Structures are given as C-alpha cells and as structure tokens.
C-alpha cells in the first residue's frame, strides 16, 4: 500500500488557471473536466496549443502529449509549446502540444484521494479523451511523468506515432531492498522525512529546483513554486514520492513492471534526451531503456542534469527528431554496407602466425630495462589466448570493452583479441584528463574495463562501470581494493588451456557489426564517441596502405596515438618510442632516433606537438642518430597543421623522407594529403587564398564545400567550385558510422543528406577548394566571426599576424553579439609577457597593419591555451570568452 501522509495530503481544492508567469502564454491554459478512474468528475489544468493552431487555420499532423514528473508541473514544457507553435505558424511541420497537470499537482484539482501509478495512467487517458487529440500521439515525459506517459503508450500503441522521454526510470529494480532506489529518493522516503520534506515544507521542491545547470533564474523558480505555496497544495508531491514502488508488495509495483515489460513490444520510433549529471536517474536507467527499446535514439547532453528541459534546448531536439523519424523523405535512408568480403583487421596476424620475424618493438616496456621485441608468432598466439580468455570471462559479441592501457604490446594484443571475439573496443586516451575520461567511459557504458593500475584506480575512485581486468598481476589485497576480477596473464593462461576448444573462437564478426568507439580529442567541446564498424575500420587500414604504400616489409614508428595500433593491421613492424603517447611533447629527438634504429623504420608518424619537441631537442643527436633518421623514407604528421618552418626543420633531420601532413579527424582519419614540397609551393603562390593547404583528397575520399551565408551558417549545396568558403564535407568508405548516443550531433553531421547523395559527413571545419583541387582549411565553423560587414574566418588573419617576427602564435576571435561582432587578436609574442595585457603601441600598430580586417583590440598573453590532447590546437572558444570578459572590464587574468 502507499505510505500514509500528513493530513495536508487529504485536503481537497479546485483547479484554477495560473497567474501570469514568465514564458507562459495565457492563451495556452485551459481547464478540462473528465471522470477519473473511480468515476468522479475531476478538473485538470492543461496547456494546449490546439486553439492557436486552429485560429491560424493550421491542421496539425498529430499531438505531442507532455507529462511532467514530481515536483514540477506543465510549466516545464513551455519551451516546446512555444517552439512548436512558431514552427507551425512559419509553415513548418505542425504539431499540437498538450501538457497536462496531473491531479493533485500543478493547477489541477486536489482530490484528497490516493493516486497510484495505475490511477495516473487512467487519469491521463481520461483527460486526453476529453481533449479529443488531433491525429496520432507522441508521448513525452520526464521523471515519474515518463513512466506515466510510457504506461499510457503501452496501453494505446495503436494510437501512437512515437514515444520520447527525458530522464526517467521504468525498471522497478530488485523486488526487495532499497539499494536500487536513487539516494535522494531513499532520503525522501525515510521515516520522519517524507511528510516534513515534501508536504509540511517545500524542501523537496527546492532541492529539485537546485538541480538545474546553470541555476534557474529567480522568476523561473517562482513560477515552478506557484502551485505549491502551501502544505495543502503540496500534498500531491508527498503522495507522488510515497508511490515509488520500493517493496514487492507496493500497490504500484505490478503496474510498473507491466509498463517496463510492455515497452519491449513498442515498435514506434523512440527517443531519450538525457542529462548525465542527474543524481536521481543515472545512466543505468538510460541503459535499461535502451535494452527494452533496442531502436531507441539517444542524445546525452553533457553538462545537463535532472532538469534537462531547463538546462538545454530540448524543444528543438524533439521537433527535429520528429521531422526526421516521421518524415523519412527529408533525410537519407540508412545505407547498406558493401556486400563484398572485407579482410578483417587481424588478417595479417592469421597469415603470419608461424612467422618468427619481429612484429612489435617497445622501446620502454612497462617494468623493462630496455627494448622488447615481439614476433608475429608470439603476438598471434597472445591474441588468440587473450581472446579465448575473454570469452571464458564472459565477454560476448557486442559487449563493450574499455581499454585504459598505454600504447604498446599489451594494448595491441588486447585490442586485436577484443575485435577477434566481436567485442566493441572503447578507446579514450588519458589526454582527456580524469573528467573527460569519466564522461567517456560512463557515456560508453562498457561491460568490461581492461587497464593498467592508474586507470583501474581511477575507475574504482570515480565509479566507472564494468568488470575490471588488470594488465599486470596485482597483489590480492590491491586487486580486491580495485575490484579486479582477473589479469591479462590470467586470461592468457586460461585461453591457452582452451586452445583445443574449437568453439572458443567460433564467432566471426560481420563486416557491419560495430567494432570500436573512438573518442574525439575534446578540443571543440566534450569528447564524442565515434562508432566504427569492422568494414569502416578495415577501410581506414586500406586507405593508409593505398595512400602511402605501407604494408608488409615496412617498419613504422608511431608516436601518434590513433595510428599506434595499426601496424599489425597493415602487416608492418611497428615501434612504440620511449614517450608518453598521450603527451606528445615527451618525445625527444634521441628517443625518436633510437626507435627508428631499433627496427630500421621506413615510416615515421608523429603529431605536431611531438615534432616541435623533436626539433627543440635535435641538438642532442649524435652521428649514429643522424644515420638512423636518414633511413626514413616517409614522414607523416597529423592532428593539427604544421607550419612550413617547423616542417622544414624536421625534414632536415630526415633528409631521405618525403614529408606528408594528412588532414583528417576522428570521424574520418584520412581525408586529404599534402607533401612538404606542395606546401611550400602553395605558400609561394600569390593567388592562394586564406588558410592552411591540406592537399587533395586521398584516393577513396570525396570532398565538397557547403557555402556559408551572411549569418555564418553552412547552407550551400555540396560543391567543388573553386574559391567558395564554407563547411568541409567528406564522403569515404572509412568515414565513421555514427556518433554514440549523440543523436543530435549525428543528425547535424549529416544534415542535408538525401537518399541519392553520397554519405556526406559535415566536419565542422571551414575552408575552400582551389582551382587545382587543393583543400584549404580556414578554421572551425564554430569559430567563424560574423561582423556587421560580413563573415570572417580566423586562420587567414592569424597567418598574417604570425608573419611578424615578434609573434610566435596568434588567435583571432570575435566578441559581442553575432552579426555585429568585433575582431580581437590575442598574440603570444616571441618574447612573452609575464601576464596578460594590452599589446604595446608598436606591436598593436604592426598587428593592425597586417590584417585585412579591422581589429578592435590586440591583447598579449604568455601562452595561448591549447587542447589537452594534441597540445597544438589553440582553444579559440576559451579565448573568445576570456577576451569578451576582459574588454567588458573584467580582470586581466590568464585565459
């Protein structure tokens, strides 16, 4: 039965219309009468856009039914009502939006009667019947309103167009005990707290309102408080908490389980918009929804929490999603994979399983005194043993395995073992920092975590999910403290014992099965999980092999994390230099030479930050080091542009190598390629446009430009017309499949795609093509400055500023309102100041003389901030925020 509440919960009061409140159009409010489950006539307060649409002569396609949770009310949905009305009246897809105040909540009747989940679902049906919905229904709920709305959906599937929810939970958890109940709700249910915290006082309401990120404006808080000023009005808040079905005997327990089970039969489109910072409904509830609705579209709003409807623009997300899933002609149909056979990534391992030649060289193996070589035969055996051990541990096809292992032999063996058994590898390197790693690991929801001791310690301390496996044998007490189930040695030993089991590695992943989730650098916002299938990962390998001739017989030194693992896939000997691959600036010139010499390397792949430190430490090279480096035939650098001067310096250290600086991103690791001579020729061309020349598309890629309009938006049709500045679009077999649980980001990345167009990925970079087909990058779309006189891309002015002998690096950002932004130059001088300041008159005058666009201010800083992973991409967004604050009178502190 429901827990008894103080007398205030039994009071009866009539529904009434709310007063004037911010963001709430009075024309939406109406009172609706219907009979509740007991046959008693009740009055509900609802918000309804139907009359406004009817008055404008607009026929809606259907009705979005919004159900609030506890302790909010239909005010929560005001932005959706407003956005839906605006779109409909502007000629866009028209949806009627109805938001219902549940009985005993908001401005609806206070009934004085207990209302369990069954009654609330029946209540919703009654009021919707009285409203006579237009067309099919889309349900949208939040908190326990999500359960109510989904309960109605399960019972009325024939009337559904789609279902959507914000943070909620439908699984009741274990039949006994309270541990499955979120801590805030356990506290609210505690004896002596329930009535005092929810009814007698407004503590529960105030706690909920404090969960917004950023904090709610005072007037918005007051609007949420409006129907709950007195204990009598708050009775429903307490009753709602008391209806949480903790014990198996609770009257709502069976109903909740029926709703949860009934979701499995729903076949309509489904969406979850989620705030990961929710202390009530964590990601485990999102995982449960996804398990019950395998077709669920998900978007996790990093930084948002329980009040996700207040934290982010969920309204546009809902309307955009409806337009895509219910109007399939507006977007491209999913593309079927090529039916041709795909060589798996472990093809060369299978082919060379009896080869005693060296496959891997670790210059500084963990705990080792010197280089360690691993043959193809040993590597193949180790991969097979770990693969069998993983299966024995319980890893199944499709399970996600987070790899928190430093690059080297262990990571290589584990990676290929996971792929071999059909597990999905999750790779997020330590360069993201603890906060970024936590977001990545929790967001990727791995079932298993394999890590070195530092990664496992972080997993334990920060509550990362997954069964834990250590790379080394740990003492028993430490293993228990870290929650470690096994070590790699344990898995290999068990796998060796299973060598005769033909079924241990019987599963062969299909080409279009998911293979990996690779996280972006986080340099343009929170790191995003990029999903690749086995087909697409194989296409990455094939694109590299075709473009650079890297294959069997070659030897690769990889000081750039994304490519440190591809040596075995290419059939090449790979060498891990003595460095922290997640901190590229730790690579010295001598360490690079030692790695090249240890394996007679013909190919070197480094990041720009690594190159900078190699050049800076090159005076320490001895004649033997120079001889080793002279044997390199191909030099590659990716991750960020390399200045011609720096490229020339590193070319002088490897005089026999042709330098390449391919352009790509995590979503498409290879898009274009350009050589050192081509870069110098482009720089000397008087007709060149602004930006950095990144070369022509690689053989398997198409590159087009979507032109910018006057507002800085990329709206043009894909074009290869020379000189058109816009967003860079790429299509290739090795472009990612999708973003992981980021529906909005994925939708934006393929905006404008049609069923007959190539599978374009919008990169977010801005640039242009020249008459020879070279791509020039001019910055990021998010960093485009829109002034009163036009659009300015940042790289061109930055290059002009960096041409000064007094400037080491420069960033150009916009301050002020978009459309009237002013350009500000932030310089890192060759002789840097001790603290940020306005540039002196000489430097400021010189800077203004170099840029083709006026500069409102010139600031100098000791060091321009860069992203944590590449250590080379200037953080323009951070600088823009800082410059705006400084020029508005803020303190001149470091950005």
Query: pLDDT tens digits for 299-352?
Result: 999 999 999 999 999 999 999 999 999 975 444 444 545 556 789 999 999 999
Q: Are strands 514-519 and 822-829 parallel, antiparallel or unpaired?
A: unpaired
On the CB side of 509, CA atoms within 13 Å amount to 30
CA distance to 662, 779, 806, 825, 864, per residue, from 860 (Å): 31, 21, 11, 8, 9
d(CA 789, CA 793): 13
d(CA 111, CA 104): 6
User: What is the per-residue pLDDT for 187?
Assistant: 57
Q: Are strands 822-829 and 807-815 parallel, antiparallel or unpaired?
A: antiparallel
Mean pLDDT of 670-690: 85
d(CA 815, CA 787): 10
CA distance to 253, 337, 570, 669, 670, per residue, from 539 (Å): 50, 12, 11, 10, 10
User: What is the per-residue pLDDT for 639?
Assistant: 75
What tokens appear for 174 in the block? 């274990």
Q: Which CATH class is domain 784-887?
A: alpha beta
Q: Residue 513, exposed/middle/buried by CB under 10 A (0-12, 13-18, 19+)?
A: middle
Enumerate the β-bridge partners of residue 450. 403, 469
The overall average pLDDT reported for the chain is 89
**Which alpha helices (H) appear in 91-193, and where do they start and end?**
117-131, 144-155, 183-189
Q: Residue 337, exposed/middle/buried by CB under 10 A (0-12, 13-18, 19+)?
A: middle
d(CA 229, CA 233): 7
Mean pLDDT of 26-41: 95
Instruction: State the span(s) of the chain assigned CATH 3.40.50.1820.
Output: 28-176+248-330
Q: Residue 802, exposed/middle/buried by CB under 10 A (0-12, 13-18, 19+)?
A: middle
Q: How confident is the model at residue 197 (pLDDT cuts 50, 70, 90)?
A: confident
Q: Show Cβ contacts of residue 259 under 8 Å, excluding neighbours closer than 6 positions.
A: 117, 147, 150, 151, 154, 170
Q: Residue 488, exposed/middle/buried by CB under 10 A (0-12, 13-18, 19+)?
A: buried
The angle subtended at Cα 380 by Cα 377 and Cα 381, nearest 5°, is 85
d(CA 160, CA 153): 7
User: What is the per-residue pLDDT for 245?
Assistant: 76
Q: Is pLDDT above 80 for 247?
A: no
CA distance to 250, 375, 426, 513, per residue, from 695 (Å): 67, 37, 31, 32
Residues in the chain: 895
Instruction: State the span(s) of the chain assigned CATH 3.30.300.30.
Output: 784-887
User: What is the per-residue pLDDT for 584?
Assistant: 80
**Which alpha helices (H) appear in 476-607, and where do they start and end?**
476-482, 488-497, 534-548, 567-570, 589-599
What tokens appear for 227 in the block? 């129907």
Q: How confident is the model at residue 191 (pLDDT cuts 50, 70, 90)?
A: low
User: What is the per-residue pLDDT for 192?
Assistant: 57
Task: Yes or no: say if 497 and 478 are a contact pair by the CB < 8 Å rule.
Answer: no
Q: Is pLDDT above 50 for 481?
A: yes
d(CA 609, CA 298): 35
Mean pLDDT of 577-589: 83
Q: Is pLDDT above 60 for 218?
A: yes
Enumerate the β-bridge partners of residue 702. 731
User: What is the per-residue pLDDT for 526?
Assistant: 78
User: What is the per-residue pLDDT for 582?
Assistant: 67
What tokens appear for 675 in the block? 């050589």
User: What is the per-residue pLDDT for 114?
Assistant: 83
Region 28-176+248-330: CATH code: 3.40.50.1820
Comparing C-alpha atoms, which of 206, 208, 207, 201 is closest to residue 233? Answer: 201
Q: Which CATH class is domain 662-782?
A: mainly beta
Could you tell me the pTM of the whole model? Answer: 0.89
Instruction: State the span(s) of the chain assigned CATH 3.40.50.12780.
Output: 347-548
What tokens appear for 234 in the block? 């708050």
Mean pLDDT of 24-52: 96
Q: How confident is the model at residue 435 (pLDDT cuts 50, 70, 90)?
A: confident
Q: Is pLDDT above 50 for 613?
A: yes
Count CB neighbours of 129 within 10 A: 12
Give backbone dihedrals phi and psi of 829, rounded to 5 degrees, phi first.
-65, 160
Q: Is pLDDT above 80 for 434?
A: no
Comparing C-alpha atoms, which of 708, 650, 701 is closest to residue 679? Answer: 650
Task: Yes or no: say if 162 and 325 are a contact pair by the CB < 8 Å rule.
Answer: yes
What tokens appear for 364 in the block? 């500084």
Is CATH 3.60.15.10 the classification given to domain 347-548?
no
CA distance to 279, 634, 812, 836, 890, per residue, from 893 (Å): 34, 44, 18, 6, 9
User: What percentage of the chain carries pLDDT values higher than 90?
Assistant: 69
d(CA 554, CA 632): 10
Q: Are strands 702-707 and 726-731 parallel, antiparallel or unpaired?
A: antiparallel
Per the listing, tokens 């989620």 go with: 274
Does an H or E element contain 344, and which?
none
Q: Residue 471, exposed/middle/buried by CB under 10 A (0-12, 13-18, 19+)?
A: buried
Comparing C-alpha atoms, which of 819, 793, 772 is closest to residue 726? Answer: 793
Comparing C-alpha atoms, which of 4, 7, 60, 52 is closest to residue 27? Answer: 52
Task: Yes or no: say if 880 and 815 are a contact pair by the CB < 8 Å rule.
Answer: yes
């Amino acid at each position: 039965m429901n827990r008894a509440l103080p007398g205030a919960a039994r009071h009866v009061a009539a529904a009434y219309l709310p007063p004037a409140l911010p963001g709430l159009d009075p024309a939406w409010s109406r009172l609706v009468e219907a009979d509740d489950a007991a046959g008693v006539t009740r009055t509900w307060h609802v918000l309804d856009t139907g009359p406004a649409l009817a008055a404008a002569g607009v026929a809606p396609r259907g009705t979005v039914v919004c159900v609030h949770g506890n302790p909010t009310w239909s005010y929560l949905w005001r932005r959706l009502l407003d956005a839906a009305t605006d779109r409909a009246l502007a000629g866009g897809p028209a949806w009627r939006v109805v938001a219902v105040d549940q009985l005993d909540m908001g401005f609806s009747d206070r009934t004085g009667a207990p209302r369990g989940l069954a009654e609330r679902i029946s209540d919703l049906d009654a009021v919707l019947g009285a409203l006579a919905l237009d067309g099919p229904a889309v349900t949208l709920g939040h908190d326990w309103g999500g359960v109510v709305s989904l309960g109605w959906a399960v019972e009325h599937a024939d009337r559904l167009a789609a279902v959507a929810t914000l943070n909620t939970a439908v699984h009741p958890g274990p039949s006994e005990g309270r541990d499955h109940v979120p801590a805030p709700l356990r506290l609210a249910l505690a004896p002596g707290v329930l009535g005092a915290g929810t009814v007698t006082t407004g503590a529960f309401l105030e706690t909920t309102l404090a969960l917004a990120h950023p904090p709610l404006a005072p007037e918005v808080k007051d609007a949420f408080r409006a129907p709950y000023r007195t204990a009598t009005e708050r009775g429903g808040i307490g009753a709602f908490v008391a209806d949480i079905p903790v014990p198996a005997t609770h009257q709502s327990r069976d109903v909740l389980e029926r709703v949860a089970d009934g979701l499995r039969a729903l076949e309509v489109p489904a969406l979850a918009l989620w705030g990961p910072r929710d202390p009530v409904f964590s990601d485990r509830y999102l995982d449960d929804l996804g398990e019950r609705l395998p077709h669920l579209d998900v978007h996790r709003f990093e930084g948002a929490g329980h009040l996700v409807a207040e934290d982010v623009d969920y309204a546009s997300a809902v309307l955009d999603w409806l337009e895509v899933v219910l109007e399939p002609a507006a977007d491209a149909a999913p593309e079927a994979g090529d039916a041709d056979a795909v060589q798996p990534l472990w093809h060369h391992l299978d082919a060379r399983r009896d080869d005693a030649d060296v496959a891997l060289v670790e210059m500084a193996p963990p705990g080792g005194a010197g280089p360690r070589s691993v043959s193809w035969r040993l590597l193949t055996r180790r991969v097979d043993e770990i693969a069998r051990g993983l299966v024995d541990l319980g890893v199944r096809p499709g399970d996600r395995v987070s790899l928190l292992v430093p690059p080297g032999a262990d990571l290589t063996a584990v990676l290929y073992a996971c792929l071999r058994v059909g597990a999905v590898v999750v790779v997020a390197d330590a360069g993201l920092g603890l906060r970024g790693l936590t977001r990545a690991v929790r967001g990727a929801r791995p079932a298993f975590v394999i890590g070195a001791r530092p990664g496992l310690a972080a997993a334990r301390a920060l509550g990362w999910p997954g069964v834990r496996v250590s790379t080394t044998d740990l003492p028993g007490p430490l293993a228990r403290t870290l929650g470690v189930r096994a070590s790699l040695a344990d898995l290999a030993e068990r796998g060796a014992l299973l060598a005769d089991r033909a079924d241990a590695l019987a599963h062969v992943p299909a080409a279009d099965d998911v293979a990996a989730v690779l996280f972006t650098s986080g340099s343009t916002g929170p790191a995003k999980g990029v999903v690749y299938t086995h087909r697409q990962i194989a296409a990455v390998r094939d694109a590299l092999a075709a473009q650079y001739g890297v294959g069997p017989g070659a030897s690769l030194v990889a000081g750039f994390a994304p490519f440190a693992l591809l040596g075995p896939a290419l059939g090449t000997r790979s060498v891990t230099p003595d460095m922290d691959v997640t901190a590229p600036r730790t690579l010295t010139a001598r360490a690079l030479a030692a790695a090249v010499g240890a394996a007679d390397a013909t190919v070197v792949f480094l990041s720009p930050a690594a190159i900078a430190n190699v050049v800076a430490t090159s005076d320490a090279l001895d004649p033997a080091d120079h001889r080793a480096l002279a044997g390199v035939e191909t030099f590659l650098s990716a991750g960020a542009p390399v200045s011609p001067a720096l490229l020339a310096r590193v070319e002088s250290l490897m005089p026999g190598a042709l330098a390449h600086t391919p352009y790509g991103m995590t979503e498409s690791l290879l898009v274009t390629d350009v050589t050192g001579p081509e870069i110098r020729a482009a720089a000397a061309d008087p007709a060149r446009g602004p930006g950095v020349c990144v070369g022509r598309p690689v053989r398997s890629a198409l590159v087009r430009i979507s032109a910018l309009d006057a507002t800085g938006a990329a709206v043009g049709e894909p074009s290869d017309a020379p000189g058109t500045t816009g967003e860079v679009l790429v299509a290739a077999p090795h472009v990612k499949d999708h973003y992981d649980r980021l529906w909005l980001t994925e939708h934006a990345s393929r905006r404008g795609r049609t069923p007959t167009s190539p599978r374009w990925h919008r990169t977010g970079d801005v640039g242009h093509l020249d008459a020879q087909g070279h791509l020039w990058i001019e910055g990021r779309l998010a960093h485009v400055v829109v002034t009163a006189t036009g659009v300015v891309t940042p790289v061109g002015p930055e290059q002009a500023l960096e041409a000064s002998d007094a400037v080491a690096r420069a960033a150009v950002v916009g301050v002020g309102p978009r459309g009237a932004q002013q350009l500000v130059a932030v310089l890192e001088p060759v002789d840097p100041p001790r603290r940020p300041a306005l540039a002196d008159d000489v430097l400021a005058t010189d800077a203004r003389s170099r840029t083709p666009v006026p500069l409102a201010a010139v600031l100098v800083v000791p060091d321009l901030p860069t992203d944590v992973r590449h250590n080379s991409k200037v953080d323009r967004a951070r600088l823009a925020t800082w410059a705006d604050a400084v020029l508005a009178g803020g303190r001149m502190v470091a950005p």
